[in-house]
Amino acid sequence: MVVGSSTVSIFFSSTLLLLLLAVFPFGSNSEDLKACKLDSIFQFGDSLADTGNLIRENPSTPFSHLPYGQTFFNKPTGRCSNGLLMVDYFALAAGLPLVNPYLQKKASFVHGVNFAVAGSTALPLDVLAQNNITSPVTNTSLSKQLDWMHSYLNTICSNKRDDCTTKLKHALFFMGEIGGNDYNYALFEGKTVAEVKNMVPRVVQTIMDATKRVIDYGATRVIIPGHFSMGCLPIYLTGFQTNDSTAYDKFHCLKDFNGLASYHNKKLKQAIKLLRKENPNVIIAYGDYYNALFWVFQHASLLGFDETFLQKSCCGTGGDYNFNVMQICGLPRVPVCSNPDKHISWDGIHLTQKTYQIMAHRLMRDISPKFRCGSN
């Protein structure tokens, strides 16, 4: 059978339209979130969500230099990407301003606070130290972020329970992503995947305890994200590169490390299920970061990514994946690609603005109906 070029073109255009509708259905994501009448967002986590805390803790970090922030802000803001992060897209969809970092002096926190710090761990540093794991980026862990929240809420609530419950009635809380650095540091400091798996129950319990604390303050809508498919990131593909072809899946991601992320996510979802039973009046949604990113890999070409760059950093240099831990993005003379929108990975560790945008809309599509805001 001979198929004309016009038929092929129509088929391709139809397929692309259906795919784009799956990512960006006409206004439904933002309209669903706007129906929630959210008035604030509170973010905990690490570099996937930090909008400027680490660069105020440590102004010499590479994240405080261009090309970080170049695409959207034309300057570094402390976001570990070329532009916006997922929390930014949630804020925009909800009709809110971007959420300011807690350590930004004289910032407005009327519409929420971002407590996330790049490099943060879920477990406290002393607990990590007991297992011979160091935290090289920051001394801030999830417990310190919770202390910051406590200090902030003390400034706006006349008493902990009643007044905070009223003030947080229309707030959205992001409890992470957090815990990824606990595993990252352990693995790159020589722990085996099996050893790191033994950390998972304690990491998950720490996240649950933190969530219980914000619920105690009055949180009614909470998103608890899982972990990325970490075996697809250039930092892992470079650090654990092997000639064993069976170590990789069909997307050339390292199966063992994706397996670790999946194990964490499985335990996290089990814990969330129990937490929902304990708090029937609180909406607790799981944020499926793993499958949101994997979906991008599955449809990369149709989404406009260059398939020759799927495993390569936009900003970086060296090796098969354009990544060298000694010459990371933000350091002098480290090159950046001409079109970040063709790349999934920004700097080998974090993702590009375009990837975050697609993932955020996928997450909104999944989570927004669970908030049941249309009946409010």
Q: Measured between alpha carbons, how far is 234 from 71 in angstroms, rounded to an integer? A: 21
Tallying the residues shown for the chain, one arrives at 376
Are 108 and 60 contacting, i.e. CB atoms less than 8 angstroms apart? no
Enumerate the H helices of the chain as residue ranges.
Answer: 5-23, 28-35, 54-57, 86-93, 125-130, 142-156, 162-167, 180-188, 193-197, 200-217, 234-239, 255-278, 289-298, 353-367
- Sign of the alpha-carbon torsion through 153, 222, 42, 329: positive
| 117 contacts 140 by C-beta, under 8 angstroms | yes
Residue with tokens 């999944």: 366
Distance CA(310)–CA(278), nearest Å, equals: 42
DSSP label at residue 284: E
**Residues tagged active-site:** 47, 347, 350
State the Cα–Cα distance between residues 360 and 23, nearest whole angstrom. 9
